[in-house]
Amino acid sequence: MSYGPAPESANAANAFLEAHGRTFQLFIGGNWQPPASETYFESINPSTKQPLAKIAEGNAEDVDAAVAAAREVLPAWAGLGGHQRARYLYAIARQIQKHARLFSVLESMDNGKPIRETRDIDIPLVARHFYHHAGWAQLMDTELSAYKEIGVIGQIIPWNFPLLMLAWKIAPALAMGNTVVLKPAEYTSLTALLFAEICQNIGLPKGVLNVVTGAGATGAALVKHPNVQKIAFTGSTEVGRIIRRAIAGSGKKLSLELGGKSPFIVFEDADLDSVVEGVVDAIWFNQGQVCCAGSRLLVEESVSEVLYAKLKARMEQLIVGNPLDKCVDIGAIVDKVQVKTIDELVQKGIHEGYAAWQPTAICPSEGYYYPPTLFTNVSPAATIAQEEIFGPVLVAMPFRSHKEAVALANNTRYGLAASVWTEDINLALSIAPQIKAGSVWVNCTNMFDAASGFGGYRESGFGREGGREGLFEYIQPRMEATLSDKPFLPKIAAESKTAASKNGLPLPDIDRTAKMYIGGKQARPDGGYSMVIRSRSGTYIGEVAEGNRKDLRNAVEAAHANSAWSNMTGHARAQVLYYIAENLAVRRAEFARRLAQMGGQTMEDALLEVDTAIERIYTYAAYADKYDGRVHSTVLNHVTLAMPEAIGVLAIICPDESPLLGFVSTVIPAIAMGNSVVVVPSETAPLSATDFYQILDTSDVPGGTVNIVTGKKEELAPELARHDNVDGIWYFGTKEGSQKVEYLSSDNMKRSWVNYGKYRNWSDTVQGAGEIFLRHATQIKNIWIPYGV
Ligand code: NDP
């Protein structure tokens, strides 16, 4: 028995195209307008190579008009309140459901993906995202009252899930009171234009959504526009990097959802028949043009040959053909350019000595197709095992031990998703946290839902889309508006009131050069240089080591070598933090004298800074076992665990001001969450940080948890920003320094958090402490576990 063709009718989609004369304008300020350039590009149906429509090519002038429209309506839209916005989002969701068939067919024709997928996955999920975020709009005032909208958001989306990526971006942005300028992918603009029409029909206020179609240059103009407050991008890591660099230092917020090379790990006790169906969903869903495609099959050696045989048998059954045919498993590739990219990588694999296996069934001769392809026993270093192919190509390799499976899974610069297959729940839940990826699917794959965040680790980008965690990409703390352009420095006391004279106590040692602190030990600087430290009035106080690149390298190595800290429970970490606070309290007067000596404040003010530091350590000790995750309410019969995980090795460039409190307020939340840190303390007043390692030494902090490298922050910060083994960086300094850090962080796409030259009052609990520090110290991993029979 074989399946006969069961084609879905293209009539409604063709009628829609005809109704527009197969020509589409730009949607700006609620109106359809021709592009300033008066040029149009063609959108084709990749399964027939026939043109579908002409699409306006927007340029910088059009982007400017769209941003102006979005900016104009922003106060009214944000001011409308959550409930009114919820009503609009709800209306959009209803319209999507009402026009689901048209959307599905149009998407299928424009992109080449099978109608089964657009009908059953893409479009229902689009509606789900608008419903879900209508709910968040409704709840914003109660659940997120300390936050407000960001402003005008520039959103740039790819061609692989055109309408779904639109929904992932537009729904949370509008719900949170932002307005949007969207640039769809050149290959696939049509459903975005139909969506704009729907927004027009439901009476969405003009300018809230603007769609400027066009090429990469149109996207670049949006990225550069000075009145855009945030860029949300999904696409290639290469373009993500260009965008990170283009907006570095501008203060624009950024979320990046980039490429992947996700592992699909099969242990020997897995149900291999289910595994085979899982692989089909992992790599042949959307022709493999999926950022989180399970493109690397890692199989326990004992079952690898059996699995390959089952897989090949299944591949023989896959039907490649007309995307509008409901029986088709694999549709067309989006464009001939993508076919070429896929084939070049496959040829490279063959050239490097690996055998490509393809089923005997042939692809249609008309249109852009690529057969499902399997490479087995590929070396982890092979190009095809490392590069994102973005096509229906699976690369398989065996492993012998659980440890090797994890090592192979993490042997990639990406970290978007992973799939773990085993009948042993203990094994699954021990492997999942070890994999550096934003989503881990246990005995399932490619699971998405609006209630769960999706996004990457490492070069797969940063930020989350969906779930409560995704909302933070579209809001900013109200507190940020109160940050100052000048640092908060303590008042200098009259000479008679300074620490030494007031208390008659001796000043701390002045003839000692404070060393650095690396791997739990004091360390001399590699360069052998030291820096003189003076009080604010210019008196010589002492010297500190002047760290350089090699010292940072040693510090990063020591931080990586320390697994003891990240493996401790939150409760155990809390105990160590309380101990730190206790030891600081014992040496309260000594630290206050040091502060007064460096900052010139009264002993009273200095004691207050120490006391606030002790209180702050208590705060984060308290949070250590309380800043935990959620169980998201996603799809039926699945538990979706959203777990905040440590970033890994965090570099922290401390503020110069508040030398003790600034140090404690940044380092302690970072380690409370399980990170190891490399800290550059205040450059001008580092001595309370170098004194602090005596506290660390006596508080049971494992060596390598906190590494302190003193020196010139504007020299050390760029080194840390470009360091490949640093996973994240916080920088509190100048505007120029912030720009440099953001720019250089793009090398390995590390997370960066900078202050753009704005200063916090560290003694203020709203500006100097709180959940925001914990959020920047963690990233959310969503683990999906199915249950039931
Ligand atoms: P791109 O990253 O080039 O495109 C994504 C979006 O960015 C598109 O809208 C594109 O416009 C736009 N764009 C391109 N250049 C710029 C720029 N300089 N500034 C701002 N926006 C820009 O991906 P491609 O479509 O070219 O695909 C290339 C590869 O990227 C694929 O083979 C695949 O490996 C990967 N990819 C990954 C995706 C993911 O989800 N992670 C999605 C898509 C691709 P335009 O469409 O006009 O080029």
Spans of the chain below 50 pLDDT = 496, 499-506, 510
Nearest to 311 by CA among 395, 234, 219: 395
pLDDT for 386: 98
Ligand 1 contact via 156 beta carbon (within 6 Å): yes
pLDDT for 614: 98
- Please give the Cα distance from 615 to 747 (Å, whole number): 37
Between the CA of 334 and the centroid of ligand 1 the distance, in Å, is 12
User: Active-site residue numbers?
Assistant: 257, 291
* Mutational test site, ligand 1, from 236, 291, 346, 388, max ligand atoms within 8 Å of CB: 236
Note the pTM of the prediction, 2 decimals.
0.96
- Please give the Cα distance from 678 to 686 (Å, whole number): 14
Ligand 1 contact via 459 beta carbon (within 6 Å): no
**Number of Cβ atoms within 10 Å of the Cβ of 509:** 10
Between the CA of 184 and the centroid of ligand 1 the distance, in Å, is 10
| Letter string b/e over residues 365-381, b meaning 16 or more CB atoms within 10 A of that residue's CB | eebbbbbbbbbbebebe
* Mutational test site, ligand 1, from 239, 256, 338, 416, max ligand atoms within 8 Å of CB: 239
Ligand 1 contact via 64 beta carbon (within 6 Å): no
Q: How far is CA 331 from CA 287, 308, 757, in A?
A: 7, 23, 51
pLDDT for 509: 52
Specify whether the CB–CB gap between 163 and 126 falls below 8 A: yes
Ligand 1 contact via 168 beta carbon (within 6 Å): no
Between the CA of 390 and the centroid of ligand 1 the distance, in Å, is 12
Indicate the DSSP class of residue 775.
H
Atom of ligand 1 nearest to the CA of 187: 46
Between the CA of 199 and the centroid of ligand 1 the distance, in Å, is 25
Q: Which residues pair with 170 in a beta bridge?
A: none
Residue range 530-552, pLDDT digits in tens? 999 999 989 999 999 999 999 99
Cβ-proximal residues to 174 (8 Å cutoff; 6+ apart), any chain: 77, 85, 88, 89, 133, 137, 180, 208, 209
Nearest to 749 by CA among 256, 42, 197: 256
Cβ-proximal residues to 501 (8 Å cutoff; 6+ apart), any chain: 495
Indicate the DSSP class of residue 634.
-
Counting every residue written for the chain, the total comes to 789
Between the CA of 239 and the centroid of ligand 1 the distance, in Å, is 6
- Please give the Cα distance from 756 to 485 (Å, whole number): 10
Residue nearest to atom 46 of ligand 1 (CA): 185
> How many Å is the Cα radius of gyration of the chain?
28
Ligand 1 contact via 258 beta carbon (within 6 Å): yes
Ligand 1 contact via 186 beta carbon (within 6 Å): yes
pLDDT for 511: 53
* Mutational test site, ligand 1, from 111, 156, 465, max ligand atoms within 8 Å of CB: 156
Residue 92 has φ and ψ, to the nearest 5°, of -65, -45
- Please give the Cα distance from 46 to 335 (Å, whole number): 6
pLDDT for 507: 54
Residue nearest to atom 32 of ligand 1 (CA): 390
Atom of ligand 1 nearest to the CA of 416: 41
pLDDT for 769: 97
Between the CA of 236 and the centroid of ligand 1 the distance, in Å, is 5
In what helix (H) or strand (E) does residue 77 lie, and over which residues does it extend? helix 60-79
Ligand 1 contact via 160 beta carbon (within 6 Å): yes
pLDDT for 5: 85
Between the CA of 160 and the centroid of ligand 1 the distance, in Å, is 10
pLDDT for 1: 67
Residue range 266-307, pLDDT digits in tens? 999 999 999 999 999 999 999 999 999 999 999 999 999 999
pLDDT for 498: 52
Ligand 1 contact via 161 beta carbon (within 6 Å): no
Ligand 1 contact via 158 beta carbon (within 6 Å): yes
pLDDT for 493: 86
User: How does DSSP assign 128-157, residue by residue?
Assistant: HHHHHHHHHHHHHHHH-TTEEE--EEEEE-
- Please give the Cα distance from 778 to 33 (Å, whole number): 44
Nearest to 418 by CA among 362, 378, 457: 457
pLDDT for 495: 60
- Specify the 3-state DSSP secondary structure of 718: helix
